[in-house]
A and B are shown apart, each in its own frame.
Chain A
Amino acid sequence: AQSVTQLGSHVSVSEGALVLLRCNYSSSVPPYLFWYVQYPNQGLQLLLKYTSAATLVKGINDFEAEFKKSETSFHLTKPSAHMSDAAEYFCAVSKAAGTYKYIFGTGTRLKVLA
């Protein structure tokens, strides 16, 4: 069975500091992995996805994530936090090859301090 663990339900960083949001997954088959962001009163927006191509995936707003099979991780990073990055971030996994069902982590709420 697939599952996703996001360490830290709340993360605070200073503006300009590195953002690191952790995601570990378990999957019996090569997974597809996703990071979504939800800003207040908006839907989930896709930040980036890994679908078995390059292990370092670049997304929108300077976010990137690295798929590490040996560590079963897909951590999200951004070199320099902006105030506008304050939101809730969700990691999700689905199976490879045409599946549709996402398994989500519990979410990490990012706070950016001035």
Chain B
Amino acid sequence: EAGVTQFPSHSVIEKGQTVTLRCDPISGHDNLYWYRRVMGKEIKFLLHFVKESKQDESGMPNNRFLAERTGGTYSTLKVQPAELEDSGVYFCASSRQGEADTQYFGPGTRLTVL
């Protein structure tokens, strides 16, 4: 089966611009998660979807970040307007319902805000 895919793999934008990251989970996985790794730091949880519903968005840094998962399939994470501190690698992961303990990760999107 295909793994978790993320697009784009890299994005370089200027401060104040908008960027949208996309994640396609493994087919049939109801749980979808977003994480972020700022350079040199740990990977941090951002939010969790179960199908199209936000189960937990306690890790979202601020209201410049908006995540959606319309139809319960792919998800987008929009940053508007982007700030320098938003630079990092954004990972998406998915898991089956009832197997939330094992998450499958995508390759990440490296975001650089200049």
Q: Does A41 contact B (CB under 8 A)?
A: yes
Inter-chain CA distance A60–B4, complex, in Å, is: 20
Q: Does A49 contact B (CB under 8 A)?
A: yes
Q: Given A94-B101, A100-B100: A41 and B107 within 8 A (CB)? A: yes
Inter-chain CA distance A32–B102, complex, in Å, is: 10
Residues of A within 8 A of B95 (CB): 100
Inter-chain CA distance A98–B56, complex, in Å, is: 14
Total B residues in contact with A, Cβ cutoff 8 Å = 27
Contact of B56 (CB < 8 Å), options: A43, A44, A100:
A100
Total A residues in contact with B, Cβ cutoff 8 Å = 24
Q: Is the CB of B106 within 8 A of A100?
A: no
Count the A-B residue pairs with Cβ separation under 8 angstroms: how many? 59
Q: Is the CB of A51 within 8 A of B42?
A: no
Interface stretch (choices B13-21, B43-51, B60-68, B71-79): B43-51
Residues of A within 8 A of B42 (CB): 4, 104-107
Inter-chain CA distance A105–B37, complex, in Å, is: 11
Q: Does A103 contact B (CB under 8 A)?
A: yes
B interface, CB within 8 angstroms of A: 3-4, 31, 33, 35, 40-45, 48, 55-56, 59, 91, 93, 95, 100-108
A interface, CB within 8 angstroms of B: 4, 32, 36, 41-46, 49, 51, 90, 92, 94, 98-107
Q: A49-B101, A49-B102, A101-B33 are in contact. List 5 more A-B contacts (CB 8 A).
A: A36-B105, A51-B101, A92-B43, A100-B56, A105-B42
